[in-house]
Structure 1
Amino acid sequence: MSALDDKINQHFAGLVVRKDLVKTVKGNATVPSYVLEYLLGQYCATNDEATIQTGIETVKEILRKHYVHRNEAGLVRSTIKEKGRHKVIDRISVSLNDKDDVYEAEFANLGIKKVLINAGTVKAHQKLLVSSVWCIADLEYEYSEEKSGSPWVLASLKPIQISRFDLDGYLAARKQFSTDEWIDLLIQSLGFNPQMFGKRNKLLQLIRLIPFCERNYNLIELGPKGTGKSHVYSEFSPHGILISGGEVTVPKLFVHNGTGKLGLVGYWDVVAFDEFAGKQKRVDKALVDIMKNYMANKSFSRGVETLGAEASMVFVGNTDHTVPYMLKHSDLFDPLPEKFHDSAFLDRIHYYIPGWEVDVIRGEMYSDGYGFVVDYLGEILRTLRGDDFSDRYKKRFSLSNEISSRDRDGINKTFSGLMKIIFPNDDASDAEIEEVLRYAIEGRKRVKDQLLRMDHTYPEVRFAYQSSDGQEVLVHTLEEEEYPSQYHRQLAADISLQELPFDVMGVAPVAHAAPAMEMLASPMNAAAGSDLVLKEQHLVFHENQRGVSFDKLFGPYLATSKRIVVTDPYLRAFHQLRNLMELMETISKQKSPDDEVAVHVVTVEDEFNGDRQTESLQKIADACAEVGIQFTWVYDTTNTLHDRDISTDLGWKIVLSRGLDVFQRFELNDAFSFANRLQQHRPCKAFNVTYVHDIRQEHSIG
């Protein structure tokens, strides 16, 4: 186990489970993760390997004996008949038979209906009336000669969710973890390996949890297929329900005016709409109208009566086009059905998760470490719905006066939700509060910026905040940094491109607002000749930013150089040495075929795999010799090497905060991936580059 896993088991003994066990016990059972983890939490919530193995066998035996597979339903029904009584795990729903004045249960996998259930059980578990709930139930078989009678009798029923927990104990244990450790624990609780995600991607994953701890929170996530958008809403908690976007009606979602039966929003904490995108989908206009009212006012009408509810609404769907394509031709809400592509509806959205930043889930991204039993965490988050952390930033920061009350509401609810998830003890530092506030502002800004493109009657907004010392900070979305020419424009049908100013958003074109990629000189071939003027500058790149390449970052500054020194103590792992080889490719593009360039690398020998490192560096040297690059290297033995930079004989020094290791993980062996073939398609880590020129250093490096 890792040090973090040891710490998790020390402070949350009996409340955590090893996440790879879910796959071990699941087999072909189509049950949500929270059902399996409920069982694993009963028998495997420990770090003792012998107990875990015994517990796994126990859980497998329970599933074998009691979980109902649809194709084995007949066998299970026969077992109940022969034994007279048998325990089953199944999805159960209940309806009222008003003719006979009784409640009747239906077992989805078992395939039986009209099972009598007493009113007390229904009253205790009212969700059974509006949707299927996973339960452990004791069923009895008593044959009756009455034609209308049912032989099935429900002896007992228990929804699969924990019955009690200690919030104070949870808060006390949280104090034993640093912020980074706590975030990693939460990511492992979701089933993912935190080592495979950057800080920004981790926070985007946690934003998906806000609807579970924040009442009436409206969230949308649109992005490519396979990024796990709907997973958390179907697998994470028994308090959330995932429904297909095309399967919902006004009576099912809100209230049936004929029967008075309350809909999903009255019983679930989170109602998530899967496959919400699709321009050709037919949508009931009445549903859109009532959803607008509910998302804005937390209420809906039933005839002359107005009812309230606390369910959060989540909309997830797939995009068909790239981000720059959507920005050029429409907006980031482009995939939605026409009736939902409505500014009044979308203005109710509190946060837009940029799904295109989330990696497609791969096998190595799953965790084998310890995380909370998800049902336990789900109950904790549900309890925190009653708290309000939305004012926690106001002692240190204030929002711009230009931000409207609806925008403030979205920002405040996101801020409150993230604070509850990461800092439930309300002990965040000023820097941590500021980081959460920036994420909260960014998600609402993404919504509002698209509304400005769709409906020009919306006023322009300066999304900024001020610290207590009066310093103003503008907030930008990542796609605004990556694609400024497409982002800061209205559709061609509405305004001529010649009339479009640079400052569409009311943001002055100062260095802070200018995207880093815009400030880079275009790559050029020195052999072709050019009047390009290089300049000293400092560029900041954000996590998940794309469009970065060594050709753009370094190419112009290395052109015409004859001697280059690369200093980086971390050229050890395969991906780091591959980065070095790709830098050699950039240098080869800049040099004339009839010239030679000397490149000298200063690094540190890997104490565990030094032979492999030396072999790889020699392979690079051999390859470089074929294209006119004299590649040499040396291992620094002083144990004082910390600098990461590239220096040239023309006096340029490029200071690198992360060395050459600026790209996030990608599949190195996938020959059919653009991220593998072209650097500009890879998401970046957060890093910065400083270009400094010292004429005294020209021709001085060896």
Structure 2
Amino acid sequence: MSSLDAKINQHFPGVVVRKDLVKAVKGNAIVPSYVLEYLLGQYCATDDEATIETGISTVKEILAKHYVHRNEAGLIRSNIKEKGRYKVIDKVTVSLNDSRDVYEAEFENLGIKKVLVDSGTIKKHPKLLVGGVWCICDIEYDFSEDGQSTPWVLLSLKPIQLSSLDYDAYLEGRKQFTTSEWIDVLMQSIGLNPEAFGRRSKLIQLVRLIPFCERNYNLIELGPKGTGKSHVYSEFSPHGTLVSGGEATLAKLFINNTTGKIGLVGYWDVVAMDEFAGSGKKPDIKLIDTLKNYMANKSFNRGTGPQGAEASMVFIGNTSHNVPYMLKHEHLFMDLPETYRNSDGQAILDRLHCFLPGWEMDNLRNDMFSTGFGFVVDYLAEVLRSLRSYDFSDRYQDRFTLSSDISTRDRDGINKTFSGLMKILFPHGGETEEEVEEILRFSMEGRKRVKDQLMRVDSTYATVNFSYQSAGGENQQVTTLEEEEYPAYYHKKINDEDDVKDVDLAAPEGFAAVKSQPVASAPQVILEEKHITFQENQKGVSYELLFGPYLKDATKITITDPYIRLFYQIRNLMELLELIVKTKAEEDEISVHLVTSRDEFKGELQDESFEKMRSSADTVGINFTWEFDETGTIHARHIVTDTGWKISLDRGLDIFQHYEMNDVFAFANRLQKYRSSKAFEATFIRYGGNQ
């Protein structure tokens, strides 16, 4: 176990489980993770390996005996008949048969209907009436000659979810963890490996939990397929439901006027609409009108009087283009149905509190899933549900003040996202000013992305200054990441004439300035002293754009980086050597010297790799040498050239997030600009030298 795993088990005994156990017991059972973790929590909530092994066997036996597979439903029904009584795990939906004045249950996999349910069970578990609930049930077979009755009798029904919660114990446990540790605990709890994600990516993942702890929170996430956008809403909590966008009818979501039955928003904490995107879809205009009013006023009215509800709305959709394409040609909402982009639909978009950039997430890989310990998801779901009664939106107001230019609706969006993240990260308090500022900026960015794209859809929306002031009066501007990556496209109006010549010549913000020249001549690069900062997940970053102009014409280059040890770090160095080869004349020779630290365990790999690099570099005019710092005191990371430039790098050459190095068909493997960067800073200093 890692030290974090040990700490989780120490402070939250009995409510944590090793996350890879879900795969170990799932087999071919098509059930949500929270159902499996409920069972694992009963038998495997420990760090004792022997107990875990015994618990896994027990859970597997329970699933084998009692989980109903559709293709074995006939056998299970026969077992119930022959044994008289049998326990099953199935998804149960109940409806009122008003002609007989009784409640009747339908078992999804078992395939039996009209099973009588007493009113007390319905009062205790009203969600049975809408959407269905996974339950452990005792069923009896009692045949009768009466053709009107069913032989199936429901003896007991227990929804698979936590029966009690000690919230004070949760707060006490939280106090034992640093903020970084707690974020990693939550990442492992939702089944993700924190080591595969940077800080910003972790926050994006945790925003997906806000609808579970914040009432009437409106969230949209658009991005490529396969990034896990819907995973949390289908697997994480028994209090949320995921519906296909095509199945989200007015009657299903709000109220059926024929039966008077309240829809999903009346019973669930979170209603997530999957497959929301699709420019060819034509949603019902009445649904849009009702949805618009509900998102604004937390109530709906279909002629039976106003009905209030607390369900948060989540909209999930796939994008069909990359970000620069969308910004150049239309906007980031371009894949939504046209109905949501016209004057009526825009009102729904304007009521979104946060727009998550799903395009920043990589496709889920095996190494992204956690094998460590995390909360049993049902336990965390109950904690988040209990937090819905609190409001933490004022926790920044004694330290920071939002710009007066920000409207009430924009302010509400910022406050609700901020409140949700504070509940998730700091339910006990204790946050520092820096942590408050980080969450505030992130919350403002989520709402700014909504507003900026609305301004592109409809020019009548006024420009908003998304900024805030610290207690000292210092003004801080907030930008979105794509605004910094593609400034030429981001601020371009849809109906502007395309003028790509200047855009093609302009380097991304933060790189060496490029002075426009006539098309026939090459652009002239202007070298200057500067300090630049890059955000996590920023793309378009490469050694060529970052260093290339400053390495040109150098005959001697010294690289100081104590962390050229592991394979991916050595590969980074090789890619820098490739750049140096590209920038030099073929007939020139350049000396490149590396100062690094010797790895205590993989020193032989370093020696072998550096020797191969030296041999290969000799053939292309590079004299590559290296030395190991024996004192172990080097910490600074920089590149120094004999042309008078020193490039100081806080992360050295390690500026890229993990990518598939072995996938020769992945562009991120072949071209650096398609990789997501880590957060890092670079300072370019002119110190003299031979210029």
TM category, shorter: over 0.9
1:472 is aligned to 475
The alignment-based identity, stated in percent, is 64
Which of 523, 535, 559 in structure 2 is aligned with 1:566? Answer: 559
1:226-253, Cα deviation, whole Å (9 max, x unpaired):
0000000000000000000000111111
Query: Would you say 1:463 and 2:456 are equivalent positions?
Result: no
What amino acid sits opposite 2:674 in the alignment?
A: H
**Contact 2:257/2:302 (8 A) holds in 1:** yes
Q: Which moved more, 1:443-452 or 1:128-137?
A: 128-137
Offset at residue 281 of structure 1 (A): 1.5
Offset at residue 302 of structure 1 (A): 3.1
What amino acid sits opposite 1:417 in the alignment?
A: G
1:337 is aligned to 337
Separation (CA, whole Å) in 1 of partners of 2:404 and 2:249: 40
Query: Would you say 1:599 and 2:592 are equivalent positions?
Result: yes
Offset at residue 698 of structure 1 (A): 3.3
Inter-CA distance 520–540: structure 2 relative to 1 (3 Å threshold): farther
Query: Would you say 1:663 and 2:656 are equivalent positions?
Result: yes
**Contact 2:512/2:525 (8 A) holds in 1:** no
2:685 is aligned to 692
Separation (CA, whole Å) in 2 of partners of 1:530 and 1:282: 48
Inter-CA distance 451–532: structure 2 relative to 1 (3 Å threshold): closer
1:77-130, Cα deviation, whole Å (9 max, x unpaired):
000000000000000000111111111000000000000111111111111111
Separation (CA, whole Å) in 2 of partners of 1:272 and 1:455: 26
2:546 is aligned to 553
**Contact 1:8/1:370 (8 A) holds in 2:** yes
Q: How does 1:499-578 map to 2 (within 5 A)?
A: 516-517=509-510, 519-521=512-514, 532-578=525-571
Residue 247 of structure 2 aligns to a residue whose secondary structure is: coil
Inter-CA distance 529–96: structure 2 relative to 1 (3 Å threshold): closer
Separation (CA, whole Å) in 1 of partners of 2:131 and 2:669: 45
Offset at residue 421 of structure 1 (A): 0.1
Separation (CA, whole Å) in 2 of partners of 1:193 and 1:622: 38
Inter-CA distance 89–143: structure 2 relative to 1 (3 Å threshold): same
Q: How does 1:82-121 map to 2 (within 5 A)?
A: 82-121=82-121
**Contact 1:19/1:371 (8 A) holds in 2:** yes
Query: Would you say 1:407 and 2:399 are equivalent positions?
Result: no
Number of residue pairs matched by the alignment: 680
**Contact 2:276/2:317 (8 A) holds in 1:** yes
Separation (CA, whole Å) in 1 of partners of 2:162 and 2:84: 28
**Contact 2:326/2:332 (8 A) holds in 1:** yes
Which of 614, 618, 623 in structure 1 is aligned with 2:611? Answer: 618
Inter-CA distance 334–533: structure 2 relative to 1 (3 Å threshold): closer
1:650 is aligned to 643
1:27 is aligned to 27
Separation (CA, whole Å) in 2 of partners of 1:38 and 1:626: 62
2:190 is aligned to 190
Offset at residue 533 of structure 1 (A): 3.3
Which of 333, 336, 357 in structure 1 is aligned with 2:360? Answer: 357
Query: Would you say 1:484 and 2:487 are equivalent positions?
Result: yes
1:508 is aligned to none
1:235 is aligned to 235
Separation (CA, whole Å) in 1 of partners of 2:364 and 2:510: 28
Q: How does 1:117-516 map to 2 (within 5 A)?
A: 117-341=117-341, 342-492=345-495, 495-496=496-497, 516=509
Offset at residue 531 of structure 1 (A): 5.4
Separation (CA, whole Å) in 1 of partners of 2:48 and 2:251: 50
- TM-score normalised per structure 1: 0.95
Separation (CA, whole Å) in 1 of partners of 2:576 and 2:516: 13
Residue 306 of structure 2 aligns to a residue whose secondary structure is: strand
Q: Which moved more, 1:247-256 or 1:72-81?
A: 247-256
Separation (CA, whole Å) in 2 of partners of 1:57 and 1:304: 53
Offset at residue 343 of structure 1 (A): 1.6
**Contact 2:514/2:524 (8 A) holds in 1:** no
- TM-score normalised per structure 2: 0.97
Offset at residue 515 of structure 1 (A): 6.2
What amino acid sits opposite 2:654 in the alignment?
A: D
Offset at residue 532 of structure 1 (A): 3.5
Offset at residue 665 of structure 1 (A): 0.3
Inter-CA distance 138–539: structure 2 relative to 1 (3 Å threshold): same
Separation (CA, whole Å) in 2 of partners of 1:132 and 1:103: 14
Unaligned runs of 5+ in 1: 503-513
**Contact 1:516/1:540 (8 A) holds in 2:** no
1:627-681, Cα deviation, whole Å (9 max, x unpaired):
1000000001111111100001111101111000000000100000000000000
What amino acid sits opposite 1:574 in the alignment?
A: F
Give RMSD over aligned pairs.
1.7
Separation (CA, whole Å) in 2 of partners of 1:375 and 1:100: 36
Separation (CA, whole Å) in 1 of partners of 2:542 and 2:525: 19
Offset at residue 522 of structure 1 (A): 9.0
**Contact 1:446/1:477 (8 A) holds in 2:** yes
Offset at residue 282 of structure 1 (A): 2.5
